[in-house]
Amino acid sequence: MDKTVKFAKIVRIITIAPIMALVALSILYVVSPDIFQNFTNYILSVLFLTVMPVLAYPLQPLIPKYRNQGREGQRNLAIVMAVLGYLCSIVSAFCFHMPKKVWQIYLTYFISGTGILSFTNVLKVRASGHACGVVGPISLMVYFIGTKALLGIPVLILVYWACLKLKRHTVYQLFWGSMIPICSLIITVLFTG
């Protein structure tokens, strides 16, 4: 196997949306813990935005609808599990009166997830969930901690390269996958004031 192909596969694996969410949440917790107010809110964020979406991978072989669909079934189940996790985060934030900034994180993820789901199932446009899963955390970090979070841009460029190298996405799909979380954050900020 070509070394660049192998490297591209590694990049895609270590930058899946749940891992990027974990990295962003952890950076935010360390740099600006007031966002979460307490460790419990941080752990709940990790549960909803990281653990639940990752469950798609071990669950795929067990769910008849997705079992025999290969990579496309895995992708579709990952989207469903992510949106389910994001929905649980919204319910949790409402029930436990979580801080505004946690609401903003959850709402941005929820709108992004439903955006990817809508593009895929309603508009029949395959927006890159991978790009969404990298741009979203970077956008949230820029919003909360400022321009120093733009240090994540090289990671995004590497992800774009890996997706194109492996022919997993087109430039068009990467564009839409990148625009969804940016628009979601803007909607969230306007909605939550």
Quickly state the pLDDT bin for 105 (edges 50, 70, 90).
very high
Q: Is the pLDDT of residue 75 over 80?
A: no
Per-residue pLDDT of 135-174, as tens digits, reads 999 999 999 999 999 888 999 999 999 999 998 889 999 9
* All structural domains of the chain with their residue ranges: 3-192
Q: Is the pLDDT of residue 188 over 90?
A: yes
User: CA-to-CA distance for 169 and 166, rounded, in angstroms?
Assistant: 8
Give the pLDDT score at 74: 78
Per-residue pLDDT of 3-39, as tens digits, reads 888 998 999 989 988 999 999 999 999 999 999 999 9
71-96 mean pLDDT: 85
pTM assigned to the model: 0.88
Which of 54, 11, 6 lies closest to 160 in space, CA to CA? 11
Considering only residues 82 and 76, tell me which one the structure prediction assigns the higher pLDDT: 82
DSSP-based three-state secondary structure for 37: coil
Q: Is the pLDDT of residue 50 over 90?
A: yes
Give the pLDDT score at 76: 77
Share of the chain above pLDDT 70, in %: 99
89-118 mean pLDDT: 91
Residue 189: how many other CB atoms lie within 10 Å? 13
User: CA-to-CA distance for 95 and 18, rounded, in angstroms?
Assistant: 24
38-49 mean pLDDT: 95
Q: Are 168 and 160 in contact (CB under 8 A)?
A: no
Considering only residues 60 and 30, tell me which one the structure prediction assigns the higher pLDDT: 30
Per-residue pLDDT of 112-127, as tens digits, reads 988 988 877 777 878 8
Give the pLDDT score at 2: 84
Q: Is the pLDDT of residue 1 over 70?
A: no
Give the pLDDT score at 160: 94
